[in-house]
Amino acid sequence: MTENRRHDIDWLRVIAIGLLLVYHIAIIFQPWAMFIGFIRSNDLAESLWAPMMMLNVWRIPLLFYVSGMGLYFAMKKRGSKALILERSRRILLPFVFGFVAITPLHILIFQKYYNLPLSYYASSGHLWFLGNIFIYVLLLSPLFFYLKRQDQSKFKNVISKVLAYAIGPLSIAAFFMLEIALVKPKLFELYAQTWHGFFIGFLAFFFGFLFVYSGKTFWQTVLKWKWLYIGIATILYIIRLTGFGAISNMYITTIESNCWIFGVFGLGYHYLNKPSGLLSYLSQAAYPVYIIHMFVLYAGAWVILPLAAPSLLKFMAITAFTFIVCFLLYEFIIRRLTILRPLFGLK
């Protein structure tokens, strides 16, 4: 594996966070939004959910895969103590700050929108992802450093040989199926603050590291077979969308999820592994935007939902509002105030 920075992995992280924002905005227009703590529009747009159903089985696992890959590159320049210190600054500090200062903001907006008594409520909220990542780093870094020291081991050679075949990457779906069997989640896509989300993230984080550690073979395989993976994922998505319960179940969804992800990795490796000024900017902005997007999204919903307009137009307006305001806050406040930078994971 090349020592150089992998621009395609950076791009996929940026794209995944962008899709996360759109996904969260679409929830506002679903009839069950309030059941998971979202402001709900009186004018629904349930047609939005078909594409969101395609996204919701792989968007979060993709971020965990990418995070595991990122740890591999972070370990190249750091020992174990330096790595934990750096991850504490970049992940734990923003998580704690967000827990006490950021997530309470969108909860207050929710309370105000529904004329509920205003009260401060600290919560991990959407930042549960950061808490999980930090735990994975603590749990897995000893093993990862051991593997790093065994760079020419038989284990690495075996992994590389297995990943040379199209079925190789997909073989890890067996571990995700085992997680389904043991944890028995109610919904595959119910990741936030659940044991299912914790363990599926753990697996994706572990295998993300392992794929990069194993060398170029994984990338050559997903590059070669990307359309096969996407084709399989598309077929399984259509089956899931049409509601064939006897065929579509969470065990099959583990295959669909990983096929989407491997297809995306193949496309990214082919088209996105190149530097650009835009990527340099967005890769820095993505983390702070992820941290603040929920209260900005709720503020946009508070302002826009009462307007007399079709639901799809409101969806587009809230989407534009969320992206624009998030980037304005990043560009003119978070990025420029030295005291705020470490609180949002910036150097």
Q: Which residue from 67, 221, 84 is spatially nearest to 159, judged by alpha carbons?
A: 221
pLDDT on residue 112: 96
Residue type, position 27, single letter: I
| Cα(106)–Cα(6) distance, integer angstroms | 34
Characterize 53-85 residue by residue with b for buried, 16 or more Cβ atoms within 10 angstroms of its Cβ, and e for exposed.
ebbbbbbbbbbbbbbbbbbbbbbeeeeeeebbe
pLDDT tens per residue across span 175-223: 999 999 999 999 999 999 999 999 999 999 999 999 999 999 999 999 9
User: Which residue is associated with the tokens 């919903």?
Assistant: 301
Are the CB atoms for 213 and 72 separated by under 8 Å? yes
Residues whose CB is less than 8 angstroms from the CB of residue 57 and which lie 6 or more positions away in sequence, other chains included: 188, 189, 240, 253, 256, 257, 260
| Cα(189)–Cα(258) distance, integer angstroms | 13
Are the CB atoms for 224 and 139 separated by under 8 Å? no
Nearest 5°: CA angle at 20, between 92 and 135?
25
C-alpha 64 chain-centroid distance: 6
In the chain, which residues have pLDDT < 70?
1-4, 244-248
Q: Measure CA of the first residue to CA of the last residue in the chain; give whole Å.
A: 26
DSSP strands (E only) in 85-156: none
Are the CB atoms for 25 and 323 separated by under 8 Å? no
| Cα(104)–Cα(119) distance, integer angstroms | 9
C-alpha 54 chain-centroid distance: 14
pLDDT on residue 57: 97
Tokens of 148: 């790093």
| Cα(41)–Cα(33) distance, integer angstroms | 9
| Cα(326)–Cα(335) distance, integer angstroms | 12
Q: Which residue from 292, 310, 249, 323 is spatially nearest to 48, judged by alpha carbons?
A: 310
| Cα(12)–Cα(59) distance, integer angstroms | 10
pLDDT on residue 2: 43
Whether the predicted model's global pTM rises above the 0.75 cut: yes
Characterize 232-247 residue by residue with b for buried, 16 or more Cβ atoms within 10 angstroms of its Cβ, and e for exposed.
bbeebbeebeeeeeee
pLDDT on residue 1: 40
Element (H, E) at 252: helix 250-271
